[in-house]
Amino acid sequence: MKMKKCTLLLTILLVGWTSLNAAVRLPNIIGSHMVLQQKSTVKIWGWASPSEKVTIKTNWDNNSYEATTSNGAQWVVNIKTPAAGGPYQITISASNTIILEDVLIGEVWVCGGQSNMEWSGDQGLKETLEEAPNATNTSIRFFYVAKSTSNFPQDNLEGKWMVCSPEEMKHFSAIGYFFGKNLNQSLNSPIGLINSNWGGTPAETWTPEYVINNDALIKRGADSLNAVAWWPHKTARAYNAMIYPLTNYSIAGVIWYQGESNTGTHYAYEKLFTGMIDAWRHHWNQNFPFYFVQIAPFTYGNNNIGALLREAQSKVANHQGTGMVVITDLIPDITNIHPTRKIEVAKRLSDLALNQTYGFTTIACQSPTYESHTIEKDKISIKFNNANNGLISKGEVIPFFEIANEDKIFYPAEAKIVGNTLVVFNKNIKSPVAVRFAFNNTAMPNLFNKEGLPVNLFRTDHWEVNTQPIKK
């Protein structure tokens, strides 16, 4: 009799355990308070018992969608989303039922990079703390990705969706929040912001391993990175844990602020960064826009490595579907690697998105960049892109121009605005062959287009650049 009771109890426990483990489950990125990308086909996915039928019902159209769980315990459905709106409810049913409440439809952006994207009120940012009391906005939602690494791509990550409130906003990326606020106001649409960043991280750790291993130059840079106590440096470790698990989740695009940790490997950064962007798009199966911030002037320990990294970023800005904002005029202190004027950086990013992604074509969003030059005797005339309305200087002189003749020695040059061009010269250089502008670690020029965006650094030569340690 006792044996029969024990057998019955064991059976009940086993059935209960099996039922619990067969219950339909969702990844953390799918949850109440989330924002789904509007007017698109989005994926809802998860896990359940093999061969179990899963039913998903959405109340914006009262449609039902069905999936059968694979022998690997995975299921996925594709759902069409309407135009921006909400809140809505999604019901997922199998052997159990999950109800997702307060779901919005709108625009979803990933906010990635290192500390300048990560920084928030938690680091005492004055702009964030002043904004916080006014930050109640149920149309903006935050998803915080917890810092984590993995040797292999993961199918889930730690994090959850939160409604924007004064307290939540203080913990979120300052640039991410102000970017989202600007889009919310301009588009009159809910905004979902996914915070996946880690201070100090080099781009290699955000890049799939095959991208790096298949290119000798990128691999050389990756192999030269040194371990530190506060962030990962090994190939793909943050990507595997903090990006790959998001790649089923439809997004509008990515904003990115990173590069300071790659100044020592500037020679590989253009190939690395474009490879990273293309790999993300491939795994998302979306050709989304990717907008990034050029690193700021800073007193690096080696000559010109900041300028060379900014030059590499400028080349990446020619990559399909990308855009870069220049912030050389937003730096209160060149000895602080974390510039504090995040509101203006976020505005330049949101202006870029509004113009390039959302069709607000009258918004000025691109800094002047070098187009071409001509040499006439001792003078060099320079033409710029994105300066159709002319150039302005916020000072009596225009510094940071240098010219050189064939001996490759650069000397400071005077610069004069002549219509839409700029003429540079040095009375002691009779036959100049090359010109550089703002090509050092700390240059903060005063040259802008009429719309108020700073002219980007450039050089017309391909000569070797001094990167020796700076003597103190």
The CATH topology of domain 22-104 is Immunoglobulin-like (2.60.40)
pLDDT over 90 (residue 19): no
Q: Which tokens is 171 given?
A: 């913990």
pLDDT on residue 420: 85
pLDDT over 90 (residue 20): no
Sign for the pseudo-dihedral over CA of 180, 181, 185, 191: positive
pLDDT over 50 (residue 268): yes
pLDDT on residue 22: 62
- The DSSP line for 217-236 is HHHHHHHTPPP-SSS--STT
Q: How far apart are CA 167 and CA 148, in angstroms?
A: 24
Order across the sheet with 401-404: list the strands. 410-412, 401-404, 434-437, 458-459
Identify whether the C-beta of residue 235 lies closer than 8 Å to the C-beta of residue 207. Answer: yes
**129-158: pLDDT as tens digits:** 999 999 999 999 999 999 999 999 999 999
- Prior bond of 87 cis (ω within 30°): yes
Give the pLDDT band of residue 419 (cuts 50, 70, 90).
confident
- The DSSP line for 409-453 is -EEE-EEEEETTEEEEE-TT-SS--EEEES-SSS----EEETTSP
**357-412: pLDDT as tens digits:** 999 999 999 999 999 999 999 999 999 999 999 999 999 999 999 999 999 999 99
Q: How far apart are CA 442 and CA 10, in angstroms?
A: 72
**Where does 147-304 show beta strands of DSSP type E?**
161-164, 191-197, 253-257, 290-293
Q: Which uninterrupted H or E stretch holds 170?
A: helix 166-171
Identify whether the C-beta of residue 275 lies closer than 8 Å to the C-beta of residue 134. Answer: no
Do 22-104 and 105-356 come out as alike in CATH topology? no
Percentage, residues of the chain above pLDDT 90 = 94
420 vs 210, higher pLDDT: 210
pLDDT over 60 (residue 10): no
Under CATH, domain 105-356 is a member of which superfamily? SGNH hydrolase (3.40.50.1110)
pLDDT on residue 435: 98
Break the chain into its structural domains and give their ranges: 22-104, 105-356, 369-459
Q: What is the CA radius of gyration of the chain?
A: 26
Q: Which uninterrupted H or E stretch holds 91?
A: strand 85-93
Identify whether the C-beta of residue 271 lies closer than 8 Å to the C-beta of residue 242. Answer: no
Identify whether the C-beta of residue 361 lies closer than 8 Å to the C-beta of residue 415. Answer: no
pLDDT over 80 (residue 251): yes
Q: How many CB atoms sit inside 10 A of residue 122's CB?
A: 12
The mean pLDDT value for 24-40 works out to 98
What 3-state class would DSSP assign to 404?
Answer: strand
Question: How many helices (H) and strands (E) would you count in the chain?
Answer: 11, 23
**207-225: pLDDT as tens digits:** 999 999 999 999 999 999 9
Alpha carbon 75 to its chain's center: 29
Q: How far apart are CA 12 and CA 466, in angstroms?
A: 75
* β-bridge partners, 80: 41
* β-bridge partners, 384: 370
**Mean pLDDT score of the chain, rounded to an integer?**
95
* β pairing state of 97-113 and 253-257: parallel
pLDDT over 60 (residue 5): no
The mean pLDDT value for 437-449 works out to 98
**307-317: pLDDT as tens digits:** 999 999 999 99
Q: Which tokens is 470 given?
A: 């700076």
Give the pLDDT band of residue 21 (cuts 50, 70, 90).
low
Identify whether the C-beta of residue 100 lies closer than 8 Å to the C-beta of residue 34. Answer: yes
pLDDT on residue 7: 47
